Structure 1
């Protein structure tokens, strides 16, 4: 079903160098903390050792929660509860930055644990419906279903009766989330996982889109564009839905498991499913932008990236091609605590920009925080870019 075009003013020029906009929400003490953290994260060996030490300290019950809470947790998370996270939500809303709320706790691999995650997400949808303070949530399918079953389905193996029953419960949990989101006018971003789990997740995402994306993109599937097959998957997905009254929700990212994918492929002697050269990933990401823009009458696109070149490419196409319904069809997103020069300047220029805002109890959020720190060290130039911008602003403030 083709959505009616709403005429909206074209945005202004995206300027990632505007430091006053970039750091408009940062106090002097928050600037100093950010500088300290990014300085530390510029040392990969230190990040790896620190992550291992933190995990061990928590396992041994050592009193380190306060240190974590006041440093890396404070910078990358919104709080331990959704109520605490609301402060960050409101602060960002003041700068026209939207929130994608992300429950960051690692789920217990039990039916009760999966039910608990579903219930937490449903509470968040109800809060979003009633407060209208945010309109997007993130869901990890491994938080509501077993990795082993996703892997077996990925390999096209037959499930046992118990496994099939467990998978049916996973599908029911996801359907409850998507149904509630559709009724509440909330958007659901389904996270991507490792390549050996992803096929059944793609199928689930497409099924939920068929059920709930008739009038708008309630459900978004996430494509990791460092995978060599994702451009082909995107084209095939658009073909599969041709003629159906469905708005496809497509979120594109570069990818989160590069080293893990390469090591597993080498260890198990199968073709590496991810690009070995960053330039190929960059081309794949921009190719996905092109494909989505060509099909914007049937697609909503979320470009979730910290890559300034890709963002500039997309914003320039929006302006050059006078895409007047960009705010309802094209979204930009970055992680909370990173790349504020992109998010805040996109929002200031009139684009639809958001932050992924995680929350959760300190101890259970540690695996998430360690992944964020390790990802930061692996992004070419990320630490230098963050530090250079912080230094300029700190000099401007005479800190």
Structure 2
């Protein structure tokens, strides 16, 4: 295990953006302040001659057809209605809709609405068509086979083959059409084993004398503030069968990494909930040490900035990587498992590992973003800023200009999910930045957990989709007026 270095908290705090945004006192980290308010809160000090234009709906949606705008508007408005989302979630989870005619009807409706909006297609061929379409609009694709979890080795092997096929599909498209491929460690390593590995890693953090014979070289996984309550008692060592399964899981990941190295296709490792995230970080960092060379990160880790320990863990990992000369790639996100994390922490009698307010989460994302932008401007490494937040996008773009990172730069990529924050995507792209859309693909039944998270994320009048809804209405009105007059 790499030596644990406690970072001075002031180091990352010195990287605050120049902004006069007022504190937002919402106790709910999932609530997103309407972009119209965020626009007003941006002070003149944050603007530059190269500010991102998010006002002209005509420019932003010039490449989008009328039918696509209408479909997007309908889906985004539907997911903004709480009762509508509740009904949709209940329907997709209800046993009444698991078989027979009702299931067929529910799947047909889902396929034509939420699935069509948030996903790239049911197979690689359909995903290719969707990526070619967004390429024409100046965006790139992050291609992800939409499987979430596996529970046995046979399932893991099948999922690996699909991830390998995703790499083949990606490199078959025109150069630079696909910026990254996605892998979920939960799909190539049984969930029960990930939980066991995470327990052992947490206990080793509590008791450094614990020896884990199977553990490879790795960057720091925990910080002083990382939650360890998931592991209440000393776990038993891995059995011989579990060690064999661990070796198989590692072989799967290495095979995928080697395929990505051969194809020069960066691999983004998705983050999950904290009960299994230590094992995921272990797989990610140990693979990065093997495969990231020179100034070309292939394996990218994900930092979820709604977690209180995110900044400390990021600083520890980057410092350790610098010490051994490994260029690291990171994807910054806010996070998608708030409900799970809060419920689990409460069940153990511990405070939530998630920031208490949405503003704390915004601050953490922006601080980590600023720190990594400064870092890649002066040395090795790459950064993916995956955000739907208007303010964070603008601040990061301003920071990139300030420190001299050219707009079209292989070290920096902005990213948003397919079907979300399209205005921000087009605005950043129009300003010259590299922008990708995360394009999950696979059968509707397989990506249902992903669709449920997107439905939950967009619920309510304050949801992140509010800005897009407003601009799409404006553009549809402009086009209708132009057609009539």
The two structures have a TM-score, normalised by structure 1, of 0.93
* 2:119 alignment partner in structure 1: 77
Describe the superposition over 1:306-357 as per-residue Cα deviations: whole angstroms up to 9, x where unpaired: 0111111110011122223761111100000111111112112110100000
- Corresponding position: 1:283 with 2:376: no
Structure 2 counterpart of 1:152, from 196, 207, 215 = 196
In the alignment, what sits opposite 2:214?
none
Distance 2:146 2:401 in 1: 36
Out of 382-391 and 346-355, give the one that drifted further.
382-391
Give the 5 Å matches for 1:33-44. Answer: 33-44=71-82
Aligned to 1:394, which of 455, 460, 476?
476
1:363 Cα deviation (Å)?
2.0
CA distance in 2, matches of 1:271, 1:207: 30
1:19 maps to 2:57 = yes
Aligned to 1:185: 264
Q: The residue matched to 1:189 in structure 2 has which SS?
A: strand
Equivalents in 1 of 2:49, 2:289: separation in Å? 32
Give distance in 1, aligned partners of 2:445 and 2:407: 42
1:18–1:345 Cα contact (<8 Å) kept: no
Cα 1:125–1:269, aligned 2, differ >3 Å: closer, same or farther? Answer: same
1:242 is aligned to 2:322: yes
Do the aligned residues in 1 keep the contact of 2:387 with 2:415 (CA within 8 Å)? Answer: yes
Residue 307 of structure 1 corresponds to 389
Residue in 2 that maps onto 1:116:
158
Matched residue of 1:193: which SS?
coil
Cα deviation for residue 11 of structure 1 reads 10
3-state secondary structure, aligned to 2:480: coil
Q: Deviations over 1:60-86 (max 9, x none)?
A: 232222222111111111111110111
Residue 87 of structure 2 is aligned to residue 49 of structure 1: yes
| 2:404 counterpart residue number | 322
Number of residue pairs the alignment of both structures matches: 390
1:90 corresponds to 2:132: yes
2-side partners of 1:106 and 1:59: how far apart?
19
Q: What residue number does 1:226 align with?
A: 306
Does the Cα contact within 8 Å between 1:17 and 1:341 map onto a contact in 2? no
- Where in structure 1 do 4 or more consecutive aligned residues deviate above 6 Å? none
Number of the residue aligned with 2:185: 141
1:289: Cα distance to partner? 1.2
Alpha-carbon distance, 1:45 to partner: 3.3
1:256–1:11 CA distance, 2 compared to 1 (3 A): farther
Specify every segment of 5 or more residues in structure 2 that has no aligned partner in the other structure, as ranges: 1-47, 201-234
| SS, match of residue 302 in structure 2 | strand
- Aligned residue number for residue 431 of structure 2: 349
What TM-score, normalized to structure 2?
0.77
Conserved in 1, the CA contact under 8 Å of 2:331 and 2:385?
yes
Q: Deviations over 1:89-108 (max 9, x none)?
A: 01111122110001113444
Counterpart Cα distance in 1 of 2:168 and 2:371: 34
1:164 is aligned to 2:243: yes
Unaligned runs of 5+ in 1: 1-9
2:143 pairs with 1:101: yes
Superposed displacement of residue 387, structure 1:
1.7
